[in-house]
Amino acid sequence: MSAADQQSLPSAPPAFGIDRPKAALICFAVAIALTIAQYTGLLPAFLHRLPESLIPPFADWLDVIFEFVKEDLGLLAFTRFLTEGLEWVLDVTGNLLFGRRRWPYLGPIPWSAIAAAVAVLGYWLGGWRMALLAGGTFLWTALVGQWEIAMQTMSVLVVAAPMAFVIGLSLGITAWKYPAFENAIKPILAVLQTLPFFTYLLPAVIFFKVGPTAGAVATVVYAIPPMILMTILGLQKVSPEVVEAGKMSGCTRLQMLRHVYIPSARTEILVGVNQVIMLCLAMVVLTAFIGMPGLGATLLQFMGSFRLGRSFEIGVTIVLIAVALDRMSKAWVAKQPEHFEKGTPWWQQHRYALIGLSAFVLFYVLAQFIPYLNEIGRRQSLSMGREIDGVMRTFLALDWVTAITGGLRAFLNNNVFIPFRNFLLSIPTPALILLIVAFGLWLAGRKQAMLAGLFFSLVALSGWWDRAVITLYSVLAAVILATLIGLPIAILAARNEKSARRVLLACDTAQTFPSFVYLLPAIMLFGITDIAVIFSILIFATVPLVRYTIEGLRTVPPEITEAADMAGATRLQKLLKVQIPLAFPTMAVGFNQAIMFAFFMVIIAAFIGTQDLGQELQRTLAGTNLGTNFVLGICVSLMALSFDLIIMKWASDRKRVLGLGG
Amino acid sequence: MSTGTAPVISCKNAWKIFGADPKGYLKTLSEGRSFEEIRADGYIAGVRDVSLDVHKGEMLVIMGLSGSGKSTLVRCFSRLHEITGGTIEVEGTDIGSLPERELIELRRSKMGMVFQSFGLLPHRTVLENVAFPLEMRGQDKHARRDRAMEVIKLVGLEGREEYFPRELSGGQQQRVGIARSLAIEPDIWFLDEPFSALDPLIRREMQDEFLRLQEMLGKTIVFITHDFDEALRLADRIAIMKDGAVEQCDTPDQIVLNPATEYVRKFTEDIDKARVVHARVLVEAGATAEGLAIDGAASVHDMAKMLITDPRDAFPVTENGVALGAMPKAKALDVLLDQR
């Protein structure tokens, strides 16, 4: 707060008589020495890799614990009980949306009725453009003959999203009410947010049966954390005067919560809803890996058999649904209540609900007479999958295309990726841990460095070190490439307001795409190779980098850039000396997000075929190997958390030093 | 004002300390420790040993600079803040010992409060905001609608009842805040800098409006402001606060004529005393004078012309038909001429 605090911030009081930069340097030097010793053959083997005999059987221990919880504590009986309830709800939505033969035996609802109702909803939320987007998405889905699989996905989504919302909201309220609870769940949430999705899937399968129920459960769990965080944020931000006004109006505690706190935190809670919907969609698509039928499963199947045209169409559907859901829920956040003049009849006040309902009924009735409005079969559909397939194949077989992709692949593989990977693998375990500690000491603080060191040591103890290093290599390689590509794009885009806004919009849109979709272009260009892995991570990670860099550059106060102009700085000088240093903390947040995204994507890329933790994780899905699954998942989470801790601490320190408020 | 009945709010040696362990700290606190010394100990004294009474139908204005503790004090009166030490009684009950249920009951039936930045619920219309306290105490829909419309009319917002707060100007929003605080017909009315967020012209208009309302309603009022002119315009009595303590609590006339401390004297320095001091406070009891009597409620400024042209040395003063005594001319002239 005061000036004295600020000055003491960058360098904490030295302990052991060594200050932070010096300690970092020492760690770095020892790491180098160890590596050199390794290369000259002087390093004893046990210092290079932890001997097998020293590795504790974490997986077995975890299995014992799971077994105990599952059987002895009766958790399995309990979750099976929950499964039945959930199954019933999913059967209902399944019946209504795609005609699964379960109670209430009403469905499937004609596609045209749903599309019409959604279009009216879109109009109410955001005018003609939103109506077009929403209605058009559903129209497209029906026309290309993907209605049924899309509705399989939606039938889980419409159950999972409200559940995640309700659970997240209640946990958020509890955490806000009881700080002890908040302190207890914050670290759990941090782990949950970095845990690879395979680790959500297996427990879901074991405890909740294969199929839609497990898919729904994994989806719910995956989507809860941001809802909790947004709820806490919103409730804490309610203005104290509004709270006092509520108290002076004689509210009881329950009335305070219902009539004052929650309505006042509406915006944040709705932002949470938006995130819940988007995460649910991303996860529902990924549940294809545990055999959930729907868009994801079909995409997985087509990609596996390299039918790119079909895959491309499904990719478009997924993206359209994602964008439509995102825009609509965001429009809902921004929508403010409007007042009606006194004496407005009720049908006018509920105009849109009535129009939507009548459109629904109209098309429902029409569909009984016009089969095309009821269901569009495979053969009737306008799908161009086969044709696109053909085009793609010929395109990829063109000499110059194969020359470019092949050449690029060979060059990158032989000269960049493989040497880099082998180098990382050659570093002795303790040296790599020391390097991470040095990195933490240099950028963040003693606490972050210790934690990162501890986390990586745990990874070493897990016995999956080599796999972990390969994961780390994919992440680092992709993020470095993403930086090389993303930074120039962002800097160019930030040069004028118009292009900046356009690129930001593109990034925002791209961020709503379920991550699975990013595999598509990679596979299209590079086939099923490990370059495709890096490439898919690369595009996924570039998005946040570009986004935050532009944001950072744009939020540099205009009077500072004007001062630079008046000081006679050239454009380059202004960029290097003024804008980038001030934008750097925000850029670091983007960099951090890129790393988090990369850790997420590298696991999905296991589908293409990798040799890292993700591959092992995917393998565990086939069995009931919960212990191993968890150990692997936690390894990924620990590595991601280490980076998160260090970079975020640095960014917030830096922001405070620059007085940017953070 | 001093009607002899028990005070509506009676505050005795009230303390409000913010910090790690306020209660424990207050116990060890030695007499006469200053605000700065307390702060050096790591605590903030929001309210420091305040004793004052508010009488029925009186308007007490609490005045001070920002951070002087005036808002904290009024929040202690309504127990939005728990006091650290001392007692606060409202109509004879110690509110500190009330269980939550009864405290809520007290607020639902007796107290109304108006806030500086209005504190309106953004998701409710004007009507729903005003009816909110009625809804909380469980009144049925029609009754609360009728009552809310009544107060909305009273504050001149008729026709806007279906609007949302963000659709209204600042002045109109505060009218909603005032209407809401009056909906339950409170006996005690707290106003925390109600007009500070408004621009000067609107502020003046709202003050007039407020005086008109008070004329009609005759509530017991605690009004907070940092604007001395506003305080002088509205107050029956003024309490001037500094660093959490009340420096002086008296009528505007007395504060201007006899400032108790150097701080108060500085505060009153620039005030046009002739407009504040009234004939009744310049009366010397027992003295008599001849001729036409003057009204006790007349300010020195009102009498200025007469003071200069009338040859008498003293004037008889009556108020509401009762003779108060005589006002020596010299005393009034001192106020009129010797301002600085």
Work out the percent of chain A whose per-residue pLDDT is above 90: 49
Judgement on whether residues B172 and B70 belong to the same structural domain of the protein: yes
The answer to whether the CB of A303 falls within 8 A of the CB of A523 is yes
- The band of A16, judged by pLDDT with boundaries at 50, 70 and 90, is low
Judgement on whether residues B71 and B131 belong to the same structural domain of the protein: yes
User: What pLDDT digit, counting tens, does each position of A221-270 carry?
Assistant: 999 999 999 999 999 999 999 999 999 999 999 999 999 999 999 999 99
Q: Beta B322-328 vs B111-114: how paired, if at all? A: unpaired
DSSP A71-89: IIS-HHHHHHHHHHHHHHH
> Cα separation of A202 and A200, whole Å?
6
Judgement on whether residues B233 and B320 belong to the same structural domain of the protein: no
In a domain, B41, yes or no: no
Judgement on whether residues B240 and B176 belong to the same structural domain of the protein: yes
CATH of the domain at B104: 3.40.50.300
What was the pLDDT predicted at A11?
44
The answer to whether the CB of B202 falls within 8 A of the CB of B168 is no
Q: What b/e sequence results for A165-179 when a residue is b if at least 16 CB atoms lie within 10 Å of its CB, and e otherwise?
A: bebbbebbbebbeee
Judgement on whether residues B208 and B62 belong to the same structural domain of the protein: yes
Q: Select the residue from B120, B162, B178 to test the A interface by mutation, using most A Cβ atoms within 10 A.
A: B162
Work out the percent of chain B whose per-residue pLDDT is above 70: 98
Q: Tokens standing for A261?
A: 């706190």
Among B76, B88, B65, B92, smallest CA distance to B242 is for B65
Which whole-number Å values give the CA distances from B6 to B9, B12, B54, B89, B180, in the listed order?
9, 14, 9, 11, 28
Q: Tokens standing for A410?
A: 């060979």
Average pLDDT, chain A: 88
A12 has a pLDDT exceeding 60: no
- Average pLDDT rounded to a whole number, residues B248-258: 92
In this structure, which amino acid lies at residue A553?
A: L
> Cα separation of B204 and B190, whole Å?
19
Sheet holding B322-328, edge to edge: B294-295, B314-319, B322-328
Of the listed ranges A87-96, A144-153, A168-177, A555-564, the least confidently predicted one is: A555-564
* Residue A340 contacts B where some CB pair is shorter than 8 Å: yes
All CATH 1.10.3720.10 domain ranges of chain A, comma separated, are: 77-108+156-294, 463-657
Count CB pairs under 8 A between chains A and B. 81
Judgement on whether residues B330 and B267 belong to the same structural domain of the protein: no
Judgement on whether residues B210 and B64 belong to the same structural domain of the protein: yes
* Ramachandran angles phi, psi of B62, nearest 5°: -100, 125
Contact B105 A241 (CB under 8 A): no
**Number of Cα atoms under 13 Å in the Cβ half of residue A33:** 7
Among B272, B111, B162, smallest CA distance to A248 is for B111
SS3 content of chain B, % helix, strand, coil (to 5): 40, 25, 35
A1 has a pLDDT exceeding 50: no
Provide the 3-class DSSP secondary structure of residue B299.
Answer: strand
Contact B121 A337 (CB under 8 A): no
**Cβ partners under 8 Å of residue A160, min gap 6:** A216, A219, A220, A223, A280, A283, A284
Judgement on whether residues B240 and B282 belong to the same structural domain of the protein: no
- The band of B1, judged by pLDDT with boundaries at 50, 70 and 90, is very low
The answer to whether the CB of A595 falls within 8 A of the CB of A577 is no
* Residue A334 contacts B where some CB pair is shorter than 8 Å: no
In a domain, B44, yes or no: no
A2 has a pLDDT exceeding 80: no
| Final residue in a domain of this structure, among B218, B241, B271 | B271
Å between A262 CA and nearest CA of chain B: 10
A285 has a pLDDT exceeding 60: yes
In a domain, B16, yes or no: no
Q: Tokens standing for B40?
A: 């050096």
| CA A621 to centroid of chain Cα atoms | 21
Contact A340 B162 (CB under 8 A): yes
The length of chain B, given as a count of residues: 340
> Cα separation of A659 and A654, whole Å?
8
- The band of B105, judged by pLDDT with boundaries at 50, 70 and 90, is very high
User: What pLDDT digit, counting tens, does each position of A24-61 carry?
Assistant: 999 999 999 988 888 888 888 888 888 888 888 888 88
Work out the percent of chain B whose per-residue pLDDT is above 90: 60
Judgement on whether residues B225 and B120 belong to the same structural domain of the protein: yes
Return the CA Rg of chain B: 22
In a domain, B43, yes or no: no
Sheet holding B44-54, edge to edge: B44-54, B9-18, B85-90, B93-94
Residue that the structure tokens 């670091």 belong to: A588
CB atoms < 10 A from the CB of B45, how many? 29
Q: Tokens standing for A426?
A: 């050659």
- The band of A399, judged by pLDDT with boundaries at 50, 70 and 90, is confident
Neighboring chain B residues of A259 at a CB cutoff of 8 Å: 121, 132, 135-136
In this structure, which amino acid lies at residue B219?
A: K
What was the pLDDT predicted at A103?
81
Provide the 3-class DSSP secondary structure of residue B249.
Answer: strand
Neighboring chain A residues of B177 at a CB cutoff of 8 Å: 245
In a domain, B293, yes or no: yes
Biggest CA-to-CA distance, chain B: 67
Q: Tokens standing for B332?
A: 């009034």
Among A512, A646, A642, A647, smallest CA distance to A586 is for A647
Å between A344 CA and nearest CA of chain B: 11
| CA A569 to centroid of chain Cα atoms | 40
Residue of B nearest to A241 (CA): B119
* Residue A241 contacts B where some CB pair is shorter than 8 Å: yes
Beta bridge partners of B328: B314
- Average pLDDT rounded to a whole number, residues B87-94: 93
Provide the 3-class DSSP secondary structure of residue A251.
Answer: coil
Provide the 3-class DSSP secondary structure of residue B218.
Answer: coil
Contact A341 B125 (CB under 8 A): no
- Average pLDDT rounded to a whole number, residues A526-547: 88
Judgement on whether residues B70 and B85 belong to the same structural domain of the protein: yes
Judgement on whether residues B234 and B264 belong to the same structural domain of the protein: yes
The answer to whether the CB of A69 falls within 8 A of the CB of A472 is no
A410 has a pLDDT exceeding 90: no
A130 has a pLDDT exceeding 80: yes
Residue that the structure tokens 């300390």 belong to: B17
Higher pLDDT, B72 or A212: B72
- The domain covering A463-657 belongs, at the CATH homologous superfamily level, to MetI-like (1.10.3720.10)
> Cα separation of A143 and A136, whole Å?
10
CB atoms < 10 A from the CB of A67, how many? 13
B143 has a pLDDT exceeding 70: yes
In this structure, which amino acid lies at residue B200?
A: P
Ranges of H-type helices in chain B: 22-28, 35-40, 70-77, 100-109, 126-136, 141-154, 170-182, 200-217, 228-234, 252-257, 262-268, 273-276, 279-282, 300-309, 329-337
> Cα separation of A642 and A639, whole Å?
5
From first CA to last CA, the distance across chain A in angstroms is: 12
> Cα separation of B68 and B47, whole Å?
8
User: What pLDDT digit, counting tens, does each position of A84-98 carry?
Assistant: 999 999 999 999 998
> Cα separation of A223 and A217, whole Å?
10
Residue that the structure tokens 């009340």 belong to: B246
DSSP A43-78: S-HHHHS--GGG---HHHHHHHHHHIIIIIS-HHHH
DSSP state at residue A13: P
In a domain, B255, yes or no: yes
Complex confidence, ipTM: 0.88
Which whole-number Å values give the CA distances from B155 to B34, B146, B148, B183, in the listed order?
43, 15, 11, 11
> Cα separation of A562 and A576, whole Å?
15
A556 has a pLDDT exceeding 60: yes
Residue from the list B115, B137, B162 with its beta carbon closest to the beta carbon of A250: B137
What was the pLDDT predicted at B74?
94
* Residue A501 contacts B where some CB pair is shorter than 8 Å: no
The answer to whether the CB of B225 falls within 8 A of the CB of B63 is yes
SS3 content of chain A, % helix, strand, coil (to 5): 80, 0, 20
**Cβ partners under 8 Å of residue A301, min gap 6:** none
Judgement on whether residues B211 and B83 belong to the same structural domain of the protein: yes
In this structure, which amino acid lies at residue A423?
A: F
| CA A25 to centroid of chain Cα atoms | 35
DSSP state at residue B194: T
| CA A97 to centroid of chain Cα atoms | 27
Q: What is the dihedral of CA A508, A513, A518, A521, to 10 degrees?
A: -80
Domain count, chain B: 2
User: What pLDDT digit, counting tens, does each position of B218-229 carry?
Assistant: 899 999 999 888
Which overall architecture, per CATH, does domain A77-108+156-294 show? Orthogonal Bundle (1.10)
The answer to whether the CB of A487 falls within 8 A of the CB of A580 is no
In a domain, B250, yes or no: yes
- The residue segments making up the domain with residue B295 are 275-337
Residue from the list A245, A248, A339 with its beta carbon closest to the beta carbon of B125: A339
Of the listed ranges A253-267, A583-597, B173-187, B316-330, the least confidently predicted one is: B316-330
Task: Answer positive or negative: Cα dihedral of A263, A266, A272, A273.
Answer: positive
Q: Tokens standing for A589?
A: 């947040």
| Final residue in a domain of this structure, among B223, B255, B271 | B271
CATH of the domain at B282: 3.10.580.10
Provide the 3-class DSSP secondary structure of residue B320.
Answer: coil
* Residue A259 contacts B where some CB pair is shorter than 8 Å: yes
Say if residue A104 is preceded by a cis peptide, omega within 30 of 0: yes
In a domain, B173, yes or no: yes
Q: Tokens standing for A581?
A: 């240093």
What was the pLDDT predicted at A5?
40
| CA B261 to centroid of chain Cα atoms | 21
A3 has a pLDDT exceeding 60: no
> Cα separation of A358 and A365, whole Å?
10
Contact A252 B120 (CB under 8 A): no
Write down the number of H helices and E strands in chain A: 33, 0
Neighboring chain A residues of B119 at a CB cutoff of 8 Å: 239, 241-242, 244-245
- The band of A450, judged by pLDDT with boundaries at 50, 70 and 90, is very high
What was the pLDDT predicted at B296?
87
* Ramachandran angles phi, psi of A133, nearest 5°: -60, -50
